[in-house]
């Protein structure tokens, strides 16, 4: 009797949603649970190159600012862009928003 492989859960729709979720900064554990798969399955797909985990947003320009004031202004622009992206992602899972903001700007977003 010939063994039959189980069909994969990785459809184009699942791949696209996982890549968007991971690119937004959602931890693998949360992204996997949200899609109904195990964390090890998602790690396997990432390691085999089936899921692209790289961020899709380009928030920083090629040239870095020279002065400290320019750095603060650039950081404020990045924060604003991330807050916007996080608010969009938070419609589906607020925990991703909390994790990203607390880890990127702990002084401003972490609990006191």
Statement: the pTM of the whole predicted model exceeds 0.85: no
Residue 59: pLDDT band by 50, 70, 90 thresholds?
very low
Angle between helices 39-47 and 28-35 (to 10 degrees): 110
Give 56 or 106, the one with higher predicted confidence: 106
- pLDDT, one tens digit per residue, over 13-33 is 989 888 888 887 788 888 888
Domain ranges of the chain: 10-56, 59-112
By CB neighbour count within 10 A (0-12 exposed, 13-18 middle, 19+ buried), where does 56 fall?
A: exposed
Burial profile 25-39: b = 16 or more Cβ within 10 angstroms, e = fewer:
bbebebbbebeebee
Are residues 19 and 87 in contact, defined by beta-carbon separation less than 8 angstroms?
no
Chain centroid to Cα 84, Å, comes to: 13
Max mean pLDDT range (5-19, 35-49, 84-98): 35-49
By CB neighbour count within 10 A (0-12 exposed, 13-18 middle, 19+ buried), where does 74 fall?
A: middle
């Amino acid at each position: 009797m010939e063994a039959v492989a189980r069909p994969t859960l990785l459809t184009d729709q699942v791949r696209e949603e996982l890549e968007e979720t991971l690119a937004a900064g959602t931890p693998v554990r949360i992204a996997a649970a949200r899609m109904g798969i195990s964390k090890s399955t998602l790690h396997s797909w990432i390691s085999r190159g089936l899921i692209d985990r790289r961020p899709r947003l380009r928030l920083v320009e090629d040239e870095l600012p020279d002065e400290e004031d320019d750095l603060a202004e650039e950081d404020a622009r990045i924060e604003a862009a991330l807050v916007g992206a996080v608010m969009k992602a938070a419609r589906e899972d607020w925990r991703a928003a909390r994790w990203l903001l607390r880890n990127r700007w702990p002084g401003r977003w972490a609990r006191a």
